[in-house]
Amino acid sequence: MSKLVTIYGGSGFVGRYIARRMAKEGWRVRVAVRHPNDALFVKPYGYVGQVEPVFCNIRDDASVLGVMRGADAVVNCVGVLCEVGKNGFAATQAEGAGRIARLAAEHGVAHMVHVSALGADAASPSLYSRTKAAGEAAVLEAFPAAVILRPSVIFGAEDQFFNRFAAMSRLGPILPVVGAGTKFQPVYVDDVAQAAVLGVLGQAAPGVYELGGPDVATFRDLMAQMLAVIQRRRLVLNIPFFAARLMGFGFDMVQTLTLGLITNRMLTRDQVRNLARDNVVADGAKTFADLGLVPTAMGAVLPEYLWRYRPSGQYAAIKDSAKNLRKT
């Protein structure tokens, strides 16, 4: 019988790419999510019955163990960008990660891969980054042989970074950003998935890997590259951090006063704290090179999915060609 991997958060942005690659490796894939009916799109990644979405609540031991039974490996991709109800940073990124690792160790799971984030730091002013660090510590304490991946901002067809700002660019001549001078090292989602697969297969040495792409650029420069791809001219306006903190406070208060009925997905105070720090691979860290992988450049991928934000959408190339015909 083929081997089985359980991927917690396997229908998310990164998890779905790992699930697809593990199916190609011939493994059975159990995609553990809160809403299995919303994850049915993963089933065609393999043959009938090879990839199955199942319910799991990572805040509960029994639920986590139930979807882990029989697994040869586990991958934890669960993370949140903003706190909603009981699914806060601590519950998901720290306690949830530790729970998965502890149960995996107790029940003889051979390999574990934990997807964390670049910038995870127990001393960070950001709760997001502190709980990412706490999650890593809990994983290593329970499962010392785990492979931990720390990607920088991740790009790909379903990303919440370039897609978000490309959509915003259609609303007016100004594109506001917080931390225009902050440096990032964007990494392609499928490259992260390849690294995770090596961990599942036991082909990556245990430890922490910091994953960044070949390009290091400021937030402003990233927006300039994105605008060039979508063929729009916009003024990239930097919002000072003091103003961003006030905005984040206001949006957070709306969520608090509505008892969570309105979720702050615009800008939180915690995100402002994160945006004040560079998000690049540290000197001396284990990287893609240690995994034998070569990361993909943004220029090779962005045009493949950002074209829909161009003024002429899919017809941009045809219109450009027509202009050339009129000149001859």
Cα gap 114→140, rounded to integer Å: 10
- Per DSSP, which regions of 220-269 are E strands? 235-239
* pLDDT in the model for residue 165: 98
Whether 161 is in a domain gets the answer: no
* pLDDT in the model for residue 326: 60
Cα gap 96→209, rounded to integer Å: 21
Cα gap 244→268, rounded to integer Å: 9
For residue 303, CA distances in Å to 8, 193, 221, 276 come to 30, 21, 16, 28
Domain of 47, CATH number, reads: 3.40.50.720
Whether 175 is in a domain gets the answer: no
Count helices and strands (H / E) in the chain.
13, 13
**Closest C-alpha among 311, 171, 298 to residue 237:** 171
Identity of the amino acid at 115: V
**Closest C-alpha among 74, 66, 64, 60 to residue 29:** 74
- 190 touches 147 (CB < 8 A): no
Whether 231 is in a domain gets the answer: no
DSSP 254: H
Whether 302 is in a domain gets the answer: no
Whether 23 is in a domain gets the answer: yes
* pLDDT in the model for residue 236: 98
Residue-level pLDDT, tens digit, the chain, 328 residues: 699 999 999 999 999 999 999 999 999 999 999 999 999 999 999 999 999 999 999 999 999 999 999 999 999 999 998 888 888 999 999 999 999 999 999 999 999 999 999 999 999 999 999 999 999 999 999 999 999 999 999 999 999 999 999 999 999 999 999 999 999 999 999 999 999 999 999 999 999 999 999 999 999 999 999 999 999 999 999 999 999 999 999 999 999 999 888 999 999 999 999 999 999 999 999 999 999 999 999 999 999 999 999 998 887 777 776 767 665 5
In terms of residue numbers, what domain contains 91? Answer: 4-156+186-213+280-295
pTM comes to 0.95
The two beta strands, 147-151 and 73-76, are unpaired
DSSP 300: G
Take residue 67 and report the two structure tokens written for it. Answer: 């979807």
**Closest C-alpha among 3, 1, 6, 2 to residue 112:** 6
* pLDDT in the model for residue 84: 83
Cα gap 105→102, rounded to integer Å: 5
Radius of gyration for the alpha carbons in the chain, expressed in angstroms and rounded: 21
* pLDDT in the model for residue 315: 74
Beta-carbon-side half-sphere exposure of residue 210 (alpha carbons within 13 Å): 15
**SS3 sequence, 159-227?**
CCCHHHHHHHCCCCCEEEEECCCCEECCEEHHHHHHHHHHHHCCCCCCEEEEECCCCCEEHHHHHHHHH
* pLDDT in the model for residue 328: 55
* pLDDT in the model for residue 246: 97
Would you mind telling me the total number of residues written for the chain in this entry? 328
Whether 169 is in a domain gets the answer: no
* pLDDT in the model for residue 260: 87
In the chain, the number of structural domains is 1
